[in-house]
Amino acid sequence: MAYAFPEGSKFYFSETFAAPKTITVMTNASPTVATSVAHGFVDGDELLLTSGWEDATDTVFKADALTADTFSLLDLDTTDTNFYTPGGGANSTVKKISAWTEIPQVLTIATSGGDARFTTIQPLARRNAINIPTGFNATTITLTLGHDPSLANYKTLVAIGRRLSPVAFKMVLSGGFVSYGYGHVSVSEQPSLNVNQANQVSAAFTLAGRSISYAN
């Protein structure tokens, strides 16, 4: 058991990927084992998965347990064949994230979504309604930044948002934890002004897949 605190945390984005590697087989296992001939990955590589398995696609995983032609995607449990149809992971691709750019002057971070979504059913024979889980809400991570439009990394982040280009997102937290996501970013360029506070703008990352956390 461990408690972590936000002081010292850093935040990064990336749209810099190596060439995609094709996966010919993905096993139904925990974690899944992927086959990709001569993939060239090393332990701990950060990989963006694009897959026919909808519950796993557009998500960043770490590579683990490597051989020359296989590797595991750490913490990807594909044993539930209701969601991971056997053979459905074939012809997936992974791209190694080859560089990260730090997000400057992060003041606060807030997360919304990611929680379970329910449909309420009211059978005629029951007085009590039933909440039936149907999936999960989309996750949005919102960062408050100290406004400084002269910073090169800030300008890059704004440009990516204006292009509507997807990016990978990483939080390196104090205590040795790291979290990943992948999706779209939008930056509110008009700063908020309050007395005795630094001028602020917000950057929102809307994730397309899961958010995964690891002990770094």
For the chain, give every residue range classified as CATH 2.40.30.180: 16-98
Longest dimension (CA), the chain: 65
pLDDT recorded at residue 5? 83
Structure tokens at 129: 């309604």
pLDDT band (50, 70, 90) for residue 50: very high
pLDDT recorded at residue 119? 96
pLDDT recorded at residue 23? 97
Region 167-192: what's the mean pLDDT? 93
Region 138-163: what's the mean pLDDT? 94
Q: Tens of pLDDT along 52-95?
A: 999 999 999 999 989 999 999 999 999 999 999 999 999 999 99
Residue-averaged pLDDT of the chain: 94
pLDDT recorded at residue 7? 87
Half-sphere CA count of 124, side-chain side, radius 13 A:
0
pLDDT band (50, 70, 90) for residue 24: very high
User: Is 168 in contact with 48 (CB distance < 8 Å)?
Assistant: yes
Range name among 3-7, 16-20, 88-92 with the lowest pLDDT average: 3-7
Please state which of the four CATH numbers 2.40.128, 2.60.40, 2.40.30, 2.60.98 is assigned to the domain occupying 102-215.
2.40.30
pLDDT recorded at residue 3? 78
| DSSP track, 160-208 | HHHHT-EEEEEEEETTTEEEEEEEEEEEEEEEE--TTS--EEEEEEEES
Q: Tens of pLDDT along 190-199?
A: 998 899 889 9
Q: Residue 176 pLDDT more than 90? A: no
Region 149-174: what's the mean pLDDT? 94
User: What fold, for 16-98?
Assistant: Elongation Factor Tu (Ef-tu); domain 3 (2.40.30)
pLDDT recorded at residue 4? 78
